[in-house]
């Protein structure tokens, strides 16, 4: 388990918004690794290697958070997120009048 500070630092390094999908996390990681891959920085491989290690660590922290996050599968939460306004109204108050 990582600390709050480690998670915030990792999120910031990866350039993630306050709310991000797993797809966005992976894309950000992939783009940063392309940018900082040591093969692209022949003049400063030490810095690129250090950045690659740091990016990998940040990615590991964020993935750990995502993999251990408990999703809410309650019927109420699913209804709230997936019912259209008309379906919600019908569910709450019955047939349209």
pLDDT tens-place string over residues 2-35: 999 999 999 999 999 999 999 999 999 999 999 9
Question: Chain-centre distance of CA 80, in angstroms?
Answer: 22
Confidence (pLDDT) at 40: 94
Report the mean per-residue pLDDT for the chain.
93
Could you tell me the domains of the chain?
Answer: 4-71 (1.10.287.110)
DSSP-assigned letter for residue 18: S
The CA-based angle 96-72-10, given to 5 degrees, is: 130
Contact 32, 48 (CB under 8 A): no
Q: What whole-number distance in Å separates Cα of residue 86 and Cα of residue 41?
A: 56
The CA-based angle 49-24-48, given to 5 degrees, is: 10
Q: What whole-number distance in Å separates Cα of residue 38 and Cα of residue 49?
A: 6
Task: Evaluate if residue 96 carries a pLDDT over 70.
Answer: no
């Amino acid at each position: 388990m990582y600390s709050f500070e480690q998670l915030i630092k990792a999120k910031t390094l990866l350039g993630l918004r306050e709310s991000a999908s797993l797809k966005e996390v992976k894309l950000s990681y992939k783009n940063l690794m392309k940018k900082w891959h040591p093969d692209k920085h022949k003049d400063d491989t030490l810095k690129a290697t250090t950045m690659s290690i740091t990016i990998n660590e940040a990615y590991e922290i964020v993935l750990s958070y995502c993999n251990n996050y408990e999703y809410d599968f309650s019927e109420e939460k699913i209804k709230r997120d997936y019912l259209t306004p008309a379906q919600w109204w019908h569910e709450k108050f019955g047939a349209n009048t």
